[in-house]
């Protein structure tokens, strides 16, 4: 575990989003980072496609979620 320095304005956006999404501030930031990493690795996929692929992968094998998703 490490410490990540973020801008105060971004921290406030994360705080607001975490309230709406019923996540902790850390969980919300982690979610955004994971989705952003997957979006960079898969630039042709939409947000909804990335989430669907991740949900499908979690249903099949919870311990191993693919880093690089392929479009269906």
| Mean predicted confidence (pLDDT) in 4-10 | 93
Tokens of 72: 């269906």
d(CA 64, CA 59): 10
Closest CA to 6 of 36, 27, 24, 29: 29
Model confidence pLDDT, tens digit, residues 23-49: 999 999 999 999 999 999 999 999 999
| More reliable by pLDDT, 70 or 45 | 45
Transcribe 47-69 into DSSP letters: HHHHHHHHHHHHHH-TT---SS-
- pTM of the full structure: 0.73
Boundaries of every domain in the chain? 8-60
DSSP state of 45: S
pLDDT value of position 58: 86
pLDDT value of position 50: 95
């Amino acid at each position: 575990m490490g410490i990540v320095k973020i801008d105060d304005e971004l921290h406030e956006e994360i705080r607001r989003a975490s309230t709406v999404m019923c996540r902790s501030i850390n969980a919300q930031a982690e979610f955004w980072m994971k989705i952003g990493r997957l979006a960079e690795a898969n630039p042709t996929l939409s947000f909804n496609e990335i989430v669907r692929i991740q949900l499908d992968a979690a249903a099949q094998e919870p311990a191993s979620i693919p880093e690089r998703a392929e479009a269906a």
